[in-house]
Structure 1
Amino acid sequence: MFTENATLMLYVENVQAEYDFWKTAGFEILSKETIMDYDTFDMKPHADSTLTFKVYDKAFIKQISPEVADFQPSVLFETEEITELHERISGLTDNISPITSTPFVSFNFASPSGIYFAVKEK
């Protein structure tokens, strides 16, 4: 049986840039380590979240599992403070949309590796 926890793996070009981005965005960094000479880290969007993100260097993934190295997830976050979060993320990236209201209040943004994420108001 599966447990209540899940980990979403992100494959990126620059692990340190992603680490700095997500830490500044307010994510909780759980651990940082080196595997086979490649840096990696675990993070959560909120301390109580059951979803963990594991960030790997894409070069590492190309060595151990090349068939998935170019896969990118589609992730939708929720927030109760969409305006404040939009302002915070705007200070971290130029790749951010304005807040829209159709079909629901939301915006999207890209991390340093160009992976896009969506945020909707809860």
Structure 2
Amino acid sequence: MRHDRAEPADVFRRSDAAANAGEDGFLRDEAVELLREKQQLEQAMESRPVIDMARGVLVASFACDPEDAWEILVTVSQHSNVKLRDVADAVTSAATGKPMPAGLQEQLASAVQARQAGRRRSFG
């Protein structure tokens, strides 16, 4: 994993005075957007293991399936306005004995109850 990333705009600065300004600007904007997207994908790949571990914790703790565990994590993230990877980190940390923030604990309990109630209705 590399941490010596240059800013996207710095990578694509051009000193070619003969280049067409419009084309140069378009290409620079496209390159900056591609670098942003690449950085987002790298971040998502780095976050994936902790999210998968949190799903496993929820599956084991609440006897739900992996899809329900995913929905629980997403619901908690959306309702608490906390990034999904941070919710997942809190869930996995709680499994090792670290206290979960009260707000996330409440959102998690609510999301689990809602999923379990929904499952009972669909099988009831």
Shorter-chain TM-score tier: under 0.3
Q: Which has the larger radius of gyration?
A: 2
Q: TM-score, normalised by structure 2?
A: 0.23
Question: Larger relative contact order (C-alpha < 8 A, sep ≥ 6)?
Answer: 1
Q: TM-score, normalised by structure 1?
A: 0.23
Larger strand share, 1 or 2: 1
Larger helix share, 1 or 2: 2
